[in-house]
Amino acid sequence: MSEAPYCTFQTLSLSEAVSTTPSKFLGGATVIQQRNLVEQVADYLTQAIISQRFAPGERLSEMQLARDLGVSRAPVREAARLLESRGLLVSQPRRGFFVRALDAGELNDVFDLRLCLERHALARLVTVFDAEKERALRRQIDIICNAATGDSDSRKIEEDLAFHRMVIAYADNRRLLKAFDDISHELRLCIALIGKTHADPDSIATSHWALLDALASGDPARCREAIDYHIGVARDYVVKGIGEA
């Protein structure tokens, strides 16, 4: 079996953004700057994975990434570990890090958990839903619809995810929000797969109106039906895409 090719991308001057500035708090400042650099590398890798510039199963070369980004290998390694903890990369002993390839079973697990979280969030939110929350969610759907007409895939994904996070946040349960945030990176992969298998991005965007209408109705049963359909359709598209890959 041939080894997966290393991934490469264009050089970015990340190091310029985190240059070390002398200070009487030099030790602490250096730690902060190093952490900022790790986060920058992690953010860049996340976008590259979500946009599938790095394909599922592809091996990442620390040396090549460090060279392309103009940084040392240490922040690249730390960023890779961070992304492994977020479910975007997997590591293999003596081989390094690989882009995680979700199979149908894993995707179903993610969607099952997402459905549980969003069902509960809507059940809580519908009891306290008001005009202010409705206006905010309506504005976010408008943003999603505008992004669908020409923005980058990563922007579409972030705006879609932002709507669902707002719903969770409005449910006013910090544990619920933390659980959603914990799977948010895997959800980005799932939403990206929906975009790859769904021919009409406008219909993906406008499908959020049904959720808002259900909340505005004040009917918990209608909210449950709306979220079951919304996430069920998304699950079908993703699993279909995995099956055709």
The Cα 211–Cα 223 span in angstroms is: 7
Q: What is the pLDDT of residue 157?
A: 86
Q: Would you place residue 64 in the very low, low, confident or very high pLDDT band (cuts 50, 70, 90)?
A: very high
6 has which bridge partners? 59
Full-model pTM: 0.76
Burial class (CB in 10 A: 0-12, 13-18, 19+), 24: exposed
The Cα 40–Cα 31 span in angstroms is: 14
89 has which bridge partners? 99
Q: Would you place residue 107 in the very low, low, confident or very high pLDDT band (cuts 50, 70, 90)?
A: confident
Q: Would you place residue 244 in the very low, low, confident or very high pLDDT band (cuts 50, 70, 90)?
A: low
Residue 151 falls in which region: left (phi positive, over 0), alpha (psi -120 to 50) or beta? beta
Q: Would you place residue 116 in the very low, low, confident or very high pLDDT band (cuts 50, 70, 90)?
A: very high
Per-residue pLDDT tens over the stretch 19-48: 333 333 334 444 445 568 999 999 999 888
Enumerate domains of the chain plus CATH numbers.
14-99 (1.10.10.10), 104-244 (1.20.120.530)
Per-residue pLDDT tens over the stretch 171-209: 999 999 999 999 998 888 877 777 664 556 677 778 899
For residue 218, the tally of other CB atoms under 10 A from its CB is: 11
